[in-house]
Amino acid sequence: MNHLPLIIKREYLTKVRNKSFIVMTILSPLIMIGLILLVTYLSQLNNNKVKTVAVLDESGIVKELFEDTETTKYHRFDNITLENAKQISKEKEYYGLLHVDELSSLESISKHINFYSEDSPSLTLISDLEFKLGEELTNLKMIEEDIDLEKIEASKINVNINQENFSGEKTSKIDSITKIAFGVATGYLLFMFIIIYGNMIMRSVIEEKTSRIVEIIISSVKPVQLMLGKIIGTSLAGVTQFVIWIVLGSILMVVLPFFLGIDISQMETPQQQMIQQAVESQGSGDLMQNIFLAVQSLPLLNLVIAFVLFFLSGYLLYSSLYAAIGAAVDNETDTQQFMLPIIMPLILAVYVGGFTVIEDPHGTVSTIFSFIPFTSPVVMLMRIPFGVPVWQQVLSLLILIGTFIFTVWFAAKIYRVGILMYGKKTSYKELIKWIKY
């Protein structure tokens, strides 16, 4: 008798109807979006405060250099001593005081520029000042040396390398960035999925043990069926949750800022800057169009097929191990000793994926890790956007499926014995013995 559909249905329904599951499903995207908005809001709040910087320029050469901006105002002192300037700046609670000493040569001036302030000044302000002063002093020096500034300006050449692969398809920096984004997104998605729903499977196995229902059930169904039913049912609940998160998240992402009047696009992240630079160096075209082109040039069909296959087998590989752990212990606190060997390869995979693959997607390390079954789902998924030969993908998948069949067999053995063991603290030695029962 095949009871698998019945078990899957029960697992799915109990998970989905569970109150904390519902709360988490609805609340998580709210919290996530809320946090993003909060961070954006706070960073804008910070920027909105106007800083006043006092300038005492005794050399008289950078007087007109600083122009007021939205966030920074400059107050120029004239004909007062440094001590007085400091005094006034302090009394008026200026952000700081920039002092340029009067000296004979530009070189010595450049070495005697000071900034006085109450607290240590912000890094961006200082580097901004340094950049402006440096540029101005360089220009002055060039004039002093009789160099024609216009000529220099005119002789600047901007290089933009056109990238093309051997079969003639155009590639670009934005291509690589899109590939990295795709790879990292799928890799992390799998990682998160395994951790969240693997744990859920483990807890539900432990629950069956502690509620002592398991013996009643396995007098009707085979333990392997129960285990697979659990894994599949929980995963379907997981997919449901994920889809709701994505839909709800994107809706909130669009709607909420509109209501709260916060502009998310103003938030600058390092990634955005990277993309911006890539686009600017490209010279022409707008960002969205470029990304669209880049996505189109990805091996999409390959990516989708590989994603489904690697995601499934990778997830099943790990979740069967989680189920085995659940069966081997009596309560959640005992799971720690068995968790490490599962988490380690996962974290390793994400690190290898996050650093090595991005640097060199077809290097030795990346290639090897995309074949090792416990890291291959994550690493291979990150590599595929960069183009991986089909034979490598197939071989890696075969190794993965082989290992997956082995772990399901192994987990089923442990599961079969473990679910009927009560009150014993299990050791690794014990687990090996169970295999032989």
Partner 1 sequence: MSNLLEAHSVSKKFGDFTALNNASIAVPEGSVFGLLGPNGAGKTTLIRVINQITMPDTGHVLLDGQPLQPHHIKDIGYLPEERGLYKSMKVGEQALYLAQLKGMQKTEAKKRLFEWFERLDIGDWWNKKIQELSKGMAQKIQFVVTVLHEPKLLIFDEPFSGFDPINANIIKDEILRLKNEGATVIFSTHRMESVEELCDHIALLHKSNKILDGNLMAIKKQYKTNTYEVGINAENHSVVERALAERFTTTAANFRTIGDELKLNVKLSEKDTANDLLSYLTTQGQVSHFVEQIPSANDIFIQAVKNN
Q: What are the residues binding partner 1 (CB under 8 A)?
A: 1, 3, 6-7, 10, 14, 18, 207-208, 211-213, 215-222, 420, 422, 433, 436-437
Beta-strand ranges (E) seen in 298-388 are none
CB of 236 to partner 1, least distance (A): 17
Q: Which is nearer to partner 1, 130 or 215 (CB)?
A: 215
Region of 212 (left: φ > 0; alpha: ψ -120 to 50; beta: rest) is: left
Q: Which is nearer to partner 1, 3 or 86 (CB)?
A: 3
Region of 116 (left: φ > 0; alpha: ψ -120 to 50; beta: rest) is: beta
Distances (CA, A) of 18 to 10, 12, 35, 196, 281: 12, 10, 26, 16, 52
CB of 240 to partner 1, least distance (A): 19
CB of 216 to partner 1, least distance (A): 6
d(CA 176, CA 313): 27
d(CA 246, CA 235): 16
d(CA 418, CA 421): 5
Q: Which is nearer to partner 1, 6 or 126 (CB)?
A: 6
CB of 218 to partner 1, least distance (A): 6
d(CA 389, CA 273): 32
Please give the backbone phi and psi of residue 286, each rounded to the nearest 5 degrees, phi first.
-100, 165
Q: Strand 51-57 vs strand 96-100: parallel, antiparallel, or unpaired?
A: parallel
Q: Which is nearer to partner 1, 58 or 208 (CB)?
A: 208
CB of 19 to partner 1, least distance (A): 9
Q: Which is nearer to partner 1, 154 or 216 (CB)?
A: 216
CB of 208 to partner 1, least distance (A): 8
* Single-letter amino acid, residue 91: E
Q: Which is nearer to partner 1, 151 or 212 (CB)?
A: 212
Q: Which is nearer to partner 1, 6 or 252 (CB)?
A: 6
d(CA 258, CA 247): 17
CB of 431 to partner 1, least distance (A): 12
Distances (CA, A) of 125 to 33, 120, 132: 30, 11, 11
